[in-house]
């Protein structure tokens, strides 16, 4: 098997790539990386010095591919499946890429700001930054809610790269800044994502690690039990 994905099952950006792989039943080996282990972190840094997961290694093409959006485009080009993740139409592809960036930058990043702030030491918390992140999520939720009043998927009519980005961003974002009661179109879209086998599989694999999530006490029971 030529593809190896370096990941952690709890990491939201890893979920994005896993969804893409599972949508097309793409064969790969999963290599769990524990960045808290200094020796393991050092080995991973040799592969990708930035130290961010996930990273895809393709031994058949002697290629190392970082960054989630690039990984998914790489898979779509070199290991295509029955579910194209980049639309063939140029304008539709731009829409998919736009909403991919939207979910990564305006929901995923603020969510991670809120989560990682809980891991800071005493006196190191960024209260203003966290408040701004919560506010940014509200703006993004409103934009997305309007978008999904007229679109079944993030990029338009079909599942794409953008939906791979949306699923983990909304999963964790909805825990730190809930949206279900105030944004009905966004909520309905998220429920559709939860029904996809790829998303169900990702959450099932992450479930044994949910106890490590700083906001685990706010996690809806259905995610903890798989119901």
Has residue 66 been placed in a domain? Answer: yes
Region label for 57, one of left (φ > 0), alpha (ψ between -120 and 50) or beta (otherwise) = beta
pLDDT digits (tens, 9 = 90+) for 92-109: 999 999 999 999 999 999
* Number of structural domains in the chain: 2
pLDDT reading at 76 higher than 90: yes
SS3 95: helix
Q: Is the pLDDT of residue 150 over 90?
A: yes
Are residues 137 and 70 part of one domain?
Answer: no
pLDDT of residue 1: 64
Kindly state whether residue 85 falls inside one of the protein's structural domains: no
Among 78, 101, 135, the domain-final residue is 78
Q: What is the mean pLDDT of residues 55-69?
A: 97
Asked whether the whole model's pTM tops 0.75, one would answer yes
Can you read off the two tokens belonging to residue 132?
A: 């701004």
**167 and 137 both lie in a single domain:** yes
Residues of 184-209 as b/e, b for ≥16 C-beta within 10 angstroms? Answer: eebbebbeebeebebbeebbebbeee
What is the distance between the alpha carbons of residues 34 and 175, in angstroms, rounded to a whole number? Answer: 24
Res 156: pLDDT: 85
Q: Which residue reads 């989560």 in tokens?
A: 115
Check whether residue 139 and residue 59 sit in a common domain: no
pLDDT in tens, 26-59: 999 999 998 888 899 899 999 999 999 999 999 9
Chain Cα centroid distance, residue 25: 18
Whether residues 202 and 125 fall in one domain: yes
Which of 78, 100, 122 terminates a domain? The answer is: 78
For 107, the token pair is 């929901």
Structure letter (DSSP) for residue 54: P
Residue 84 lies in a domain: no
Those residues whose C-beta lies under 8 Å from the C-beta of residue 206, and which sit 6 or more positions away, are 9, 10, 15
149 with 94, same domain: the answer is yes
227 has a pLDDT exceeding 80:
no
Among 31-45, 136-150, 160-174, 185-199, which stretch is predicted with the lowest mean pLDDT?
Answer: 31-45
CB 140 within 8 A of CB 73: no
With respect to residue 172, please indicate whether it lies within any of the assigned structural domains.
yes
Which CATH number do you get for residue 41? 3.40.30.10
Residues 74 and 103 in one domain: no
Specify whether 180 is located in the same domain as 144: yes
Which residue range(s) make up the domain with 123? 90-225
Asked if pLDDT for residue 135 goes beyond 90, the answer is: yes
Return the percentage of the chain with pLDDT > 90, whole number: 91
* pLDDT, the chain, mean: 95
Domain containing residue 208: CATH number: 1.20.1050.10
Question: What is residue 72's three-state secondary structure?
Answer: helix
End-to-end CA distance of the chain: 33
């Amino acid at each position: 098997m030529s593809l190896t994905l370096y990941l952690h099952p709890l990491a939201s950006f890893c979920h994005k790539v896993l969804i893409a792989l599972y949508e097309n039943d793409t064969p790969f080996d999963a290599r769990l990386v524990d960045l808290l282990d200094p020796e393991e972190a050092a080995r991973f840094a040799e592969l990708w010095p930035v130290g961010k997961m996930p990273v895809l290694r393709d031994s058949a093409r002697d290629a190392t591919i970082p960054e989630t959006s690039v990984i998914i485009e790489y898979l779509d080009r070199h290991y295509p499946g029955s579910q194209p993740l980049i639309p063939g139409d140029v304008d539709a592809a731009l829409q998919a890429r736009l909403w991919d960036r939207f979910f990564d930058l305006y929901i995923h990043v603020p969510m991670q700001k809120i989560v990682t702030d809980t891991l800071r030491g005493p006196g190191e918390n960024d209260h203003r930054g966290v408040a701004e992140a919560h506010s940014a999520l509200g703006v993004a939720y409103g934009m997305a809610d309007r978008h999904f009043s007229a679109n079944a998927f993030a990029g338009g009519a079909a599942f794409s790269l953008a939906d791979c980005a949306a699923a983990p961003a909304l999963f964790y974002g909805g825990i730190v800044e809930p949206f279900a009661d105030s944004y009905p179109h966004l909520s309905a879209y998220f429920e559709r994502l939860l029904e996809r086998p790829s998303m169900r599989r990702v959450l099932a694999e992450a479930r044994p690690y949910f106890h490590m999530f700083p906001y685990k006490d706010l996690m809806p029971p259905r995610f903890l039990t798989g119901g």
